Amino acid sequence: MKIGLACDHAGFKYKEKLKKYLSSKGYNFLDYGCDSEESVDYPDFGHKLANSIENNENNIGIQFCGTGNGINMSANKHQGIRAALCWNTYIAEQARLHNNANILTMPARHLNWNEIKKIVDVFLNTEFEGGRHKKRVDKIKI
Ligand code: RB5
């Protein structure tokens, strides 16, 4: 599994914690920024991560902004992206099972680290169910 990471300033601390967590579990990842808590524009990083998935540098992305909405909206402008804003494990599981989400987006200002770890674990360990869901996912592109 090739994982790409992105965030804005609101998500920087959690992205850094997540890098250590993913390394401890043996995952490889690429970091598309940002690189500090200095104020930045979330689309710059959401687009970088989305491009990396469309170019097959990565097959899964994980990203943060304060609410999750801005960076999620940015990524979802890309035709090859299905970014899911997830704030609990149930939503994360459904995003993989039913939506074949390829980016997990989380609201950094509204989750604690324990919640984030659980959401990431579920997202990375759940496979797309296919079947009737494939037909629906195939209709998302415009
Ligand atoms: C930054 O203050 C904040 O607007 C951003 O992190 C995000 O919540 C936008 O959707």
**Measured between alpha carbons, how far is 91 from 19 in angstroms, rounded to an integer?**
22
Place of tokens 């324990």: 114
Q: Indicate the pTM of the whole model.
A: 0.98
pLDDT tens for residues 5-39?
999 999 999 999 999 999 999 999 999 999 999 99
Classified as helix, coil or strand, 56 is: coil
For the question of residue 98 being annotated catalytic, the response is yes
Q: Which atom of ligand 1 is nearest to the CA of 11?
A: 6
Atom 9 of ligand 1, residue of closest alpha carbon? 70
Pocket of ligand 1 (CB under 6 A): 8, 10, 42, 65-67, 69-70
Which structure tokens are listed for 117?
A: 């770890």
**What pLDDT does residue 84 have?**
99
Atom 3 of ligand 1, residue of closest alpha carbon? 66
Confidence of residue 99 (pLDDT cuts 50, 70, 90): very high
Q: Which of 93, 90, 119 is nearest to 106 (CA)?
A: 119
**What pLDDT does residue 8 have?**
98
User: Which among 9, 40, 67 is the best mutation to test ligand 1's pocket, defined by most ligand atoms within 8 Å of the CB?
Assistant: 67
